[in-house]
Amino acid sequence: MLAKCYSGAINGVDARMVEIEVYSQIGTSQFAIVGLPDTAVKEAKDRIPKALKSQGLALKKEYDVTVNLAPADVRKEGSIYDLPIAVGLLGASGQIRNRHLDEYGLIGELALSGEVRAAHGILPMVMEMRRVGLRAVIVPVENVEEASVVSGIDVIPVRVLQEAVQYLNGELTIEPRHTDIGDLIAGGGSSLDDFADVKGQDTAKQAIEVAVAGGHNILMIGSPGSGKTMLARRIPSILPPLTVEEALEVSRIHSVAGEAKGGGGFVTERPFRAPHHTVSSIGLLGGGTHPVPGEVSLAHRGVLFLDEFAEFPRQALEVLRQPLEDGHVGVSRAAAAFDFPSKFMLVAAMNPCPCGYHGDPNHDCRCRTNAIVKYQSRVSGPLLDRIDIQVEVPPVDVKRLPTMDPGESSATIRERVLKARAIQAERYRNLPGVHTNADVRSRDLDRVCLFTAKERECLIRTIERMKISARAYDKVLRVARTLADLDGSEAVRESDILAAVTYRKLDSEDNAFWV
């Protein structure tokens, strides 16, 4: 007898349908799984009979079983096919009487006790099942919060195999779960650190506000203890909330990577990723034997914070150049090519030299010139060119700390950021893929800046004095456009251009840190 149901397979951060065909006939208890299964899938023939017996569902006769996972040319990986294979087997042997089994999707690993265990990649698989029009999807109860954000398909949580069988036979009623994404997003962000905790560093805080308002990359340079990390870790508190579309996009990536935590598996806040400086290039970019998203993709629509920037392996830093420019990562393997989204805001912090005190007025630097040059050269010119804002974070006068007033709260700064983002959203509403000034294409810069002859002359003088690259020139214009937006100005003014130039710290002639 033949039974059929559906499951899914992960392809990058997307999913595709897998048809589970189970054919059984009275025989000698042979169990074969075909359709390009990996080792974990093949081991299902050992797990499933024990799980059936534990749940009182053991087959009463000896059957020869053939399981076909279609399409046969797509590799099937992991233990998520245990539940659909078991249900298909029970359908083929007559223990499940539901004639519409092929309208259901099933995902989950089976323990020997019959317990249904959680799986990675639930969200994209459920989204694909909804797209093809399945009636319902049966998932492990641990994954139900993540899966239930997908509207238009019934999500049925089960703890053990017996519950799935009874539900499909109409013997047990399980109410479908549906979760409102808007409520999840609205409930996030209450425990974030506040910029009011940071005393002093007004210039650095202003630079961060500009960076967040326009989606710009930023590098903070300063001696140890000046507050670079403290400032960076408060950036999430002024980021705009995720939209529903962005939340689904981000959650899909984290689901595939097995990192979805917020909202019971759904990502409710913009990601803030801070990998250690020993991370490999694969850890940053993604890939591996079975490609998974790296840190640049896990930071999609959020922040990638690289502390001790110059301590990262040179090769790892250089792989950032393409995702910073393109907003996605292409990973090619012999069997397939994968595309991982990676549109993130880079926030980096570094010391100016190995000892950390080059240019510090309060400490003597112990490094020789060649050691400083070698240290600074770990961050290449092409990579620095892709960082819009480079700002000095000088040491705070410790003696003044007890009497210094608290800084502006994150809530106050965030209001200004949201107003600037709203202006940009309106400006770019007809430009696909452009949401912030950092996204705008080079050919559109002159049009969105609305220069007069005076501003253009100022820009030409600046370029001649600083001798910056064409890419850095574009960065200056983008930052100037953001400064104008924060002030509510329709056109970019001369003051905005001059202020944007001051944020190119490493290009300036009076830079005290760079040698």
Least confident of 58-72, 95-109, 211-225, 494-508: 494-508
Distance between CA 173 and CA 4 in Å, rounded? 22
What per-residue confidence (pLDDT) applies to 387? Answer: 93
User: In whole numbers, what is the pLDDT of the chain averaged over residues?
Assistant: 90
What per-residue confidence (pLDDT) applies to 207? Answer: 96
Provide the 8-state DSSP code for 175. P
Contacts of 42 (CB under 8 A, 6+ apart): 33
103 contacts 154 by C-beta, under 8 angstroms: no
What per-residue confidence (pLDDT) applies to 239? Answer: 95
User: Predicted confidence band at 349 (pLDDT cuts at 50, 70, 90)?
Assistant: very high
Identify the three-state secondary structure at position 118: coil
Q: Which token pair is 11?
A: 């392809």
110 contacts 47 by C-beta, under 8 angstroms: yes
Q: Residue 471's CB: how many other CB atoms inside 10 A? A: 12
Q: Which token pair is 83?
A: 């539940």
pLDDT tens column, 416-460 = 999 999 999 999 999 888 999 999 998 888 888 887 778 878 877
pLDDT tens column, 472-513 = 888 999 999 999 999 999 999 989 988 998 898 776 555 555
Q: Residue 290's CB: how many other CB atoms inside 10 A? A: 11
Contacts of 147 (CB under 8 A, 6+ apart): 122, 123, 126, 137, 139, 155, 177, 265
Distance between CA 156 and CA 108 in Å, rounded? 12
Q: How many residues does the chain have?
A: 515
Contacts of 513 (CB under 8 A, 6+ apart): 221, 352, 358, 359, 392, 505, 506
pLDDT tens column, 227-278 = 999 999 999 999 999 998 999 999 999 999 887 654 457 888 999 999 999 9
What per-residue confidence (pLDDT) applies to 263? Answer: 46
User: Rounded mean pLDDT of 302-321?
Assistant: 94
- Kindly provide the residue ranges of all beta strands, DSSP E only, lying in 291-435, ordered along the sequence: 292-293, 303-306, 328-332, 337-341, 345-350, 389-392
DSSP conformation letters of 455-505: HHHHHHHHHHHHT--HHHHHHHHHHHHHHHHHTT-SS--HHHHHHHHHTBG
Distance between CA 27 and CA 77 in Å, rounded? 28
pLDDT tens column, 150-197 = 999 999 999 999 999 999 999 999 999 998 888 878 766 555 789 999
Distance between CA 409 and CA 393 in Å, rounded? 19
What per-residue confidence (pLDDT) applies to 453? Answer: 79
